[in-house]
């Protein structure tokens, strides 16, 4: 299945933006103003997690109403979700972990994807299947920058989007690693700001996050 959108899908999720906001929405009506704030702050790639029933409608709204955003789906764990998200307009897919069935569905989706890994063997298994770009989850709990730095020696062909427990203070350290393409996180979309509709605060946090690449390093 291919994206119904006229805009092409990105070639790589890792090269879209240095920071990918991970969004949990309970009200789909928040999706468009939130996405506009993130885009205005310099973060066009947005991962809407499937943790809430609002997610498909939120993805559809951003895909159709915020053309400067590149909206993707997160927490994708079944082949059915792959199809539903792409049909809703998701232009990339992210999972916290992977299975053969999920990988097959993601490969067939027509959009780029990041299967999740947290161990060396999972990384090797994905490389064996021709997948070089992955989500490293839960990044802080699974070993953080020290773990990723250790992987870069024997497995330099693997590139990661670490996510989970990363904040404004630690993101730059991840971005300075040679095997990190981007980092994901929710620190620029605090739940209380979303609940209050404080889009200006989210735009400000996004702007600070968007500036991290220069502050933290330039290597990829």
Ligand X SMILES: O=C(O)C(=O)C[C@H](O)[C@H](O)COP(=O)(O)O
- Provide the token pair at 172: 């730059």
Least distance (Å) between residue 59 CB and ligand X: 14
Per-residue contact string for residues 89-118; x = within reach of ligand X by CB under 6 A: -------x----------------------
Question: What residues have CB less than 8 Å from 18, skipping those under 6 apart?
Answer: 175, 182, 183, 210, 212, 213
> What is the footprint of ligand X within residues 38-57 (CB under 6 A)?
49, 51
Q: Using CB under 6 A, pick the residue from 75, 109, 145, 179 that binds ligand X.
A: 75
Report the run of H or E that residue 174 belongs to, with start and end: helix 171-175
Q: Rounded to the nearest whole angstrom, what is the least distance from the CB of residue 154 to ligand X in the complex?
A: 25
**135 noted as active-site residue:** yes
Active site residue 128: no
For residue 137, state whether it binds ligand X (rule: CB under 6 A): yes
Considering only 32-40, 64-72, 85-93, 160-168, which stretch makes contact with ligand X by CB under 6 A? 160-168
* Active-site annotation holder among 47, 133, 173, 203: 47
User: Nearest CA to 98 among 137, 53, 52, 154?
Assistant: 137
Binding residue for ligand X (CB under 6 A) from 41, 185, 194, 203?
185
Verify binding: residue 18, ligand X, rule CB under 6 A. no
Written as one string, the DSSP assignment of 42-110 is T--EEEEETTSTTHHHHHHHHHHH-TT-EEEEES--SHHHHHHHHHHT-S-EE-SS--HHHHHHHHTTS
As a whole number of angstroms, the distance between CA 54 and CA 101 comes to 25
Distance CA 7, CA 215 (A): 31
Residue (9 or 186) nearer to ligand X, CB: 186
* Number of neighbouring beta carbons within 10 Å of residue 151: 19
**Residue range at the interface with ligand X (CB under 6 A); choices 9-17, 117-125, 151-159, 161-169:** 161-169
Going across the sheet that includes 159-162, the strands are 116-117, 133-136, 159-162
Quote the CA–CA distance of 46 and 61 in Å, as a whole number. Answer: 13
Q: Does 182 bind ligand X (CB under 6 A)?
A: no
Smallest distance from ligand X to CB 49, Å: 4
State the catalytic residue, choosing from 133, 135, 173, 203. 135
Q: Where along the sequence are the contacts to ligand X (CB under 6 A)?
A: 22, 49, 51, 74-75, 96, 137, 163-166, 184-187
Residues labelled as active-site residues: 47, 135
């Amino acid at each position: 299945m291919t994206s119904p959108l006229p805009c092409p899908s990105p070639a790589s999720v890792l090269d879209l933006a240095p920071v990918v906001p991970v969004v949990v929405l309970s009200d789909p009506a928040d999706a468009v103003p939130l996405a506009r704030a993130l885009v205005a702050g310099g973060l066009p790639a947005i991962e809407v997690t499937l943790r809430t029933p609002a997610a498909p409608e939120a993805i559809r709204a951003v895909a159709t109403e915020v053309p400067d955003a590149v909206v993707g789906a997160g927490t994708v764990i079944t082949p059915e979700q792959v199809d539903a998200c792409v049909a809703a307009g998701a232009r990339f897919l992210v999972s916290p972990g992977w299975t053969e069935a999920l990988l097959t569905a993601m490969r067939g989706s027509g959009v780029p994807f990041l299967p999740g890994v947290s161990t060396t063997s999972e990384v090797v298994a994905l490389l064996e299947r021709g997948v070089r770009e992955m989500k490293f989850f839960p990044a802080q709990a699974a070993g953080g920058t020290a773990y990723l730095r250790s992987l870069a020696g024997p497995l330099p062909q693997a590139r990661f989007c670490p996510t989970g427990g990363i904040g404004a203070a630690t993101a730059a350290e991840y971005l300075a690693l040679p095997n990190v393409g981007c980092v994901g996180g929710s620190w620029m979309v605090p739940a209380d700001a979303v609940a209050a509709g404080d889009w200006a605060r989210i735009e400000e946090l996004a702007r600070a996050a968007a500036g991290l690449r220069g502050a933290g390093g330039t290597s990829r």
